[in-house]
Amino acid sequence: MGKTIIIKNAWIIDPASSAKVNGDIFIRDGRIDTVHPGIALPADVSIDATGLFAAPGLVDMHVHTRDPGQTYKDDILSVAACAAAGGITSFVCMPNTLPPADCVDVLQHIIEKARRAAVRVYPVAAVTKGLTGKELTDMQTLRRAGAVAFSDDGNPVSDSAVLSAALKQSIESSSLILAHCEERKLSAGGLINEGKISEKLAVRGIPAAAENEATVRDIQLAAVIKARLHICHVSTAGAVQAIKEAKKRGVKVTAETCPQYFALDEELLLRRDADYRMNPPLRTPEDRMAIIEALTDGTIDCIATDHAPHTAEEKKNFLTAPNGVVGLETSLGAGITYLVEKRYVTLEKLIFLMSTAPARILGIQGGTLAKGQPADIVLFDPSEKWRVEPEKLHGRCSNTPFKHLELSGRVKYTVCNGEIVFPLSERMAADVP
Ligand SMILES: [Zn+2]
Ligand SMILES: [Zn+2]
């Protein structure tokens, strides 16, 4: 008999089966064996989850690990530790590494290193060689080498002919393209959202039109080619409108947004602090409300973080710092605080948006607590409040736009593949017979 864990007296949320019961979860050999009230079986490890919620481990379909090439920022292992601390048991890593993940060698490096990671890591391969938007990669080969999807995230594919060819190839290789929608002719040189804040600070803006126009174009190409398309990090009301209309017409489009776009807005940029700078940028309060509405009506399918570590040194200068924020450890708390507590969505719907939906979009395991599935579980207290202290986050970089804010919802345990991966001290304690 293999290793067994019992989780006792949890409020169990499983959006895949719409079950919500108070009960126990019995884990054997890394898999969910039984979910039932009052399980009386002996187990190697017992977790008292009284007062806690148990949900399928979260799935983050948009993360930058900086590995290979920029591991002074973070690497696959340190980012996986952040994920575990945030209740995330699977994440997808974007290919804008050094060198980029446009070939089998780089994918193999990621997959090999990910074997030692606390959680599951799924690599995304580049759409074009060197992320230059010119020559397509070989999707079929990269798919076989382990790529879960394809993206040139960070460098949008601006040539429509190249994106068309990529979408055709994606059908042939049963792949999914994740699109970073940005018309560079409109956004180039921009630092923050174009509008009254950029005027006040006298810095060049990134107009909402840059995102809207690219979203419309990418959807149009996908519609003509009849390919699936996933839109990354939606931040504008205009992009929401384009996706909503496309879905009505039956286009096979899905979309994600990130906590920063439903929780925060451009006012924060008045602090002239680069920790509030990311791409797409924080937008207006009206955009924020459109994003929330899109999460409630199904226009936006899921929540990802676009976790992007940069060092404090790199983020020091407001005008020259690179774009990007970390988010793995604050996404559940942000969702509970800004969506559930404000009564826009239920806790079950939030877990669906953060776990079940992204797992389905990617076609990977997870997102459910069904019997026989891998035991990927997050145990959390939705009402416990905590203040985001950047220096207490688990990665090497702490560029969070949620710094010093109070969030509700604290992760207590994360179980991945039947192992307690957070907190790590508990894991060691639990391993002692
Ligand atoms: Zn992007
Ligand atoms: Zn990104």
Q: What is the pLDDT of residues 248-265, one digit of tens each?
A: 999 999 999 999 999 999
Q: Whose atoms come closest to the Cα of 95: which ligand?
A: 2
Region for 298 from its dihedrals, namely left if φ exceeds 0, alpha if ψ lies in -120 to 50, beta otherwise: left
How far is the centre of ligand 2, averaged over its atoms, from the C-alpha of 306 (Å)?
5
List the single range of 33-37, 138-142, 248-252, 314-318 with lowest mean pLDDT: 33-37
Q: Give the tokens for residue 126.
A: 């580049």
Q: What confidence score (pLDDT) does residue 431 get?
A: 44
How far is the centre of ligand 1, averaged over its atoms, from the C-alpha of 151 (Å)?
9
How far is the centre of ligand 2, averaged over its atoms, from the C-alpha of 154 (Å)?
6
Mean pLDDT of 112-122: 98
How far is the centre of ligand 1, averaged over its atoms, from the C-alpha of 308 (Å)?
10
Residue 333 phi, psi (nearest 5): -60, -40
% residues pLDDT > 90 (the chain): 96
Percentage helix, strand, coil for the chain under 3-state DSSP, each rounded to 5: 35, 25, 40
Region for 343 from its dihedrals, namely left if φ exceeds 0, alpha if ψ lies in -120 to 50, beta otherwise: left
How far is the centre of ligand 2, averaged over its atoms, from the C-alpha of 61 (Å)?
10
Mean pLDDT of 150-174: 97
Q: What confidence score (pLDDT) does residue 151 get?
A: 98
Q: Whose atoms come closest to the Cα of 62: which ligand?
A: 2
Q: Are 288 and 300 in contact (CB under 8 A)?
A: no
Q: Are 17 and 35 in contact (CB under 8 A)?
A: no
> How do residues 417-433 score in pLDDT, each as one tens digit?
999 999 976 444 444 43
- Return the active site residues: 306
How far is the centre of ligand 2, averaged over its atoms, from the C-alpha of 38 (Å)?
44
Q: Work out the number of other CB atoms within 10 angstroms of the CB of residue 379.
A: 22
Q: How far is CA 79 from CA 91, 311, 397, 401, in A?
A: 10, 14, 10, 17
Q: Is the pLDDT of residue 108 over 50?
A: yes
Q: Give the tokens for residue 285.
A: 């309060």
Q: Is the pLDDT of residue 379 over 90?
A: yes
Q: What is the pTM of this model?
A: 0.97
| Strands of 229-284, DSSP E | 229-231, 253-257
Q: Is the pLDDT of residue 341 over 80?
A: yes
Q: Whose atoms come closest to the Cα of 324: which ligand?
A: 2
The environment of the single-atom ion ligand 1, i.e. residues with CB closer than 5 A, is 153, 180
Order across the sheet with 253-257: list the strands: 58-63, 88-93, 120-125, 149-150, 177-179, 229-231, 253-257, 302-303
Mean pLDDT of 69-75: 97
How far is the centre of ligand 2, averaged over its atoms, from the C-alpha of 94 (Å)?
7
Q: Whose atoms come closest to the Cα of 307: which ligand?
A: 2
Q: Is the pLDDT of residue 17 over 50?
A: yes
Domain ranges (residues) in the chain: 57-362
Residue 56 phi, psi (nearest 5): -60, 140
How far is the centre of ligand 1, averaged over its atoms, from the C-alpha of 193 (Å)?
15
Q: What confidence score (pLDDT) does residue 51 get?
A: 96
Q: Are 409 and 87 in contact (CB under 8 A)?
A: no
Residue 262 phi, psi (nearest 5): -100, -10
Q: How many CA atoms lie within 13 A of 115 on its CB side?
A: 6
370 confidence band (pLDDT: 50, 70, 90): very high
Does the 57-362 domain belong in CATH 3.40.250.10? Answer: no
Q: Whose atoms come closest to the Cα of 181: which ligand?
A: 1
